[in-house]
Structure 1
Amino acid sequence: MNEPVVVGVDGSESAEHAVDWAAAEALRRRRPLRIVHAVENWPYRTPLFMPSDTVDRLAHISGRVVEMAERRARRHAPELEISTVRETGETFTILTRQSEDAFELVLGNRGRGGFASLLLGSTSLRMAAWSPVPVVIVREEAVEDGDVVVGLDLGKDEKATLDFAFDAAAVRGARLRVVHAWPLYVYAPFAEPGYVSDEDAIEAELREQVTGVLAPWRTRYPQVEVVERLPRTHPVPALAEASRDAALLVAGARERGRHAPRLGPVAHGAVHHAHCPVTVVPR
């Protein structure tokens, strides 16, 4: 249990919500909490444009950001083991390095800067796509006592995703809702005359497959109540709707090469449109 829960902070309101969630998560899982703040100094690397007090000012601001985050975490969990890290450099590089030994990385959905109308900040999106550890993106409307929801793709290896989802439900004492969405597309130009799709038969077959896939985890986690949902729609709106009253949504990243992002279209849609915290689990 030495792998820490790592949370990235930048002094934004979104980061404050991430600290609250990460502190509760670390306490729940009996893991240490590591608070990480990256000082982006690239605008001041050219001496001509660097004010004389820039270094001192950035150090003071970063110190305050970390201090306030630690104070906030201790207010929620006084007994928690907390460490803090301040580094100068690119945020993505620092968060990647500081989370290499982590259980998971927790981020707010939006940091400082950028466009307020965007649903998701660039750092959160980039980390979700590239991080080798699970990334949790926290929103303001997080609830503590809802279900854990997991998206299931029968065409992919979902072992890591289901491992995380069942474990998350177990440590919370929560119900697990497994969502396998299946939009039924009928291409009329290619269908035979008189063809009628038997949606009920298709759903029955899919439900049998879902039950078979989940069997090993049901055995391993007998204390977790599992509910299977097979909505006849696209996975992204299905997961977004399921997340409305959920405590956590778990989605799997797709398996890609070393130099290609792993955030597939469903996980990408989920982190943008979910109403609760989303964990993207790398395969």
Structure 2
Amino acid sequence: MDLPIVVGVDGSEAGLRAVDWAADEADLRGLPLRLVYASLWERYEGEALAEDLHKPSEQVRAEDIVAAAARRAARRRADVKISTEVLPEEPEYTLVRESRGAALLVTGTRGRGGLAGALLGSVSLTVAGHAHCPMIVVRGDQDDRARPGRHGRVVVGVGDTPAAPATMRFAFEEARRRGAVLEAVRAWRCPAHETTDHPQLAGGPARLHEQHAVDALETALKEAPDDVVVRRRTVEGHARTVLVGASRDADLLILGARRRPRHFGLQLGRVAHGVLHHSDCPVAVVPEPV
């Protein structure tokens, strides 16, 4: 039996955009779509969905939310098999549990305009740190509609420890599935204490760090399949800034997340936190066993 794509729905504009994106992804992969609403609150607090249902927001219930999301997904991708679930639980707990039996987990940002629209909500951030399957946070396109990939470019970030086979396999497959170029990006910096004012030595440390970045890319891409077009790019700068910049004309940005000993589940580092908050395109977080 094919594992479903699970999308967390909450009736928000960002959540509905995630439903659109997940429906497209389910159609692309030939997988069923499972819509899950989880909350300890009985009523929905919001405007957009209430207007769509022609009800005051205080009368909108969980069943209305998932039914509206299911209709939206069916209108978008009629051939996708859709199921729904309403659970009186904390959404973080529910989505992490759902990720154990999912091919992919999808959430929105839950932002509502202004600064809030730029930052990731606590539910998505928590789940991204603990999901057992690849998770995609749908960012970008602030008109509240998901859009199909239009740049023909998937970006994968390569970190200090490039031995991340699950992340790279996911990146290769996503590029192949979309018919997109895969761009592997490695940021590098030369620490200030390694620089010198001597004109004949000033470039030495920087060249060494850049070469280390080049070597890291080669190691990460050694299993690249022949049918995927791969580009390698090393950029001097902070990894978070470099990757956010790379997201501006990408269809998907992929990061690996490693499990840390003595911690529950996946723990996201500063780079992943920053990218999830500020990326201009959807971000995939792939769990990488240590």
2-structure distance, mates of 1:30, 1:137: 20
Match of 1:47 in 2: none
**Residues 273 and 3 of structure 1: is their aligned pair in 2 closer, same or farther, counting only changes over 3 Å?**
same
Q: Secondary structure at the match of 1:63?
A: helix
Aligned residues: 265
CA shift for structure 1 position 98: 2.2
* Pick aligned residue for 1:280 from 277, 285, 288: 285
> Within 5 Å, which residues of 2 pair with 1:122-271?
122-141=122-141, 144-146=149-151, 147-187=153-193, 195-198=201-204, 199-200=206-207, 202-216=209-223, 218=224, 221-257=225-261, 258-259=263-264, 261-271=266-276
Structure 1: how far apart are the matches of 2:197 and 2:124? Answer: 47
| Unaligned 5+ runs, structure 1 | 44-56
Cα distance in structure 1, aligned partners of 2:185 and 2:272: 13
Alpha carbons of 1:118 and 1:180: their partners in 2 closer, same or farther (altered >3 Å)? closer
Question: Residues 232 and 118 (structure 1 numbering): CA distance in 2 closer, same or farther, change over 3 Å?
Answer: closer
TM-score (norm 1): 0.85
Name the counterpart of 1:53.
none
CA contact (8 A) 2:163 2:219 kept: no
TM-score, length basis structure 2: 0.83
Residue 105 of structure 1 aligns to a residue in which SS?
A: strand
* Aligned equivalent of 2:144: none
Unaligned runs of 5+ in 2: 44-56, 142-146
For 2:237 and 2:216, how far apart are their aligned partners in 1? 18
Asked if 2 retains the 8 angstrom alpha-carbon contact of 1:251 and 1:270, the reply is: no
**Is this contact kept in 1: 2:111–2:119, CA < 8 A?**
no
Q: Once the two structures are aligned, what percentage of the paired residues are identical?
A: 39
Q: CA shift at 1:9, angstroms?
A: 0.4
Where 2:84 maps in the other structure, the secondary structure is strand
Q: Deviations over 1:48-103 (max 9, x none)?
A: xxxxxxxxx99961111001101111111101011101111111111122222001
Quick one: structure 1 residues 223 and 260, their matched pair in 2 at CA, closer, same or farther if it must change by over 3 Å? closer
Distance 1:118 1:274, change over 3 A: closer
Measured in 2, the distance between the counterparts of 1:138 and 1:208 equals 31
- Partner-residue secondary structure (3-state), 2:235: coil
Paired amino acid for 2:222: A
State the one-letter code of the partner of 1:91. P
Larger radius of gyration: 1
Shift of 1:11: 0.4
